[in-house]
Amino acid sequence: MEPKVIKYSRQREAIWDYIKNRKDHPTADTVYTYVKKVYPNISLATVYRNLMLLNDMGKLRTVFVGDGMVHFDPDTSDHDHFLCTKCGKVTDIYFDGKEETVRKPLDFEGKIERSFTIYKGICEQCLKKSPEI
């Protein structure tokens, strides 16, 4: 079976241009708010569909941090995420590989290829604003 050919889209290009260098893990709503300024007739569904297509293409990945929203991350390297429980900011966390190992769950016979951890707490900026926390 031949791979599916994906037709070029100016809207998709605008979405990619907006997200490709971001570190803040925007949601589809955030991307939509920006892209709508360039393409006023674009719908949120079109933005979401294109973000998921970029995910399927391996250009970005989805991040679920437990806030009920899908966040998008253009950094597809192995890393974890931190969610600030005060401001909601999502931050990348990288390890040198020595501390992190994939542990095999009990009663699981499959092969784990990747794992991601979501850490939750209070970010540095929120701690600076409210040192009593």
- Is the pLDDT score of 100 beyond 70? no
* Mean pLDDT lowest among 7-11, 49-53, 88-92, 95-99: 95-99
Domain count of the chain? 2
Domain co-membership, 82 together with 57: no
Domain co-membership, 8 together with 43: yes
In tens, the pLDDT along 107-116 reads 888 887 777 8
What single string gives the DSSP state of each residue in 65-131? -SSSSEEEES--SS-EEEEETTT--EEEE---SSS--PPPPTT--S-------EEEE--HHHHHH-T
According to DSSP, the β-strands at 90-93 and 80-84 are antiparallel
Q: Dig out the tokens for 50 from the structure.
A: 């294109």
pLDDT at 67: 87
> What CATH code is carried by the domain that includes residue 53?
1.10.10.10
pLDDT at 97: 61
Domain co-membership, 66 together with 83: no
Domain co-membership, 119 together with 129: yes
* Mean pLDDT lowest among 18-32, 87-101, 109-123: 87-101
| Domain limits for position 106 | 77-133
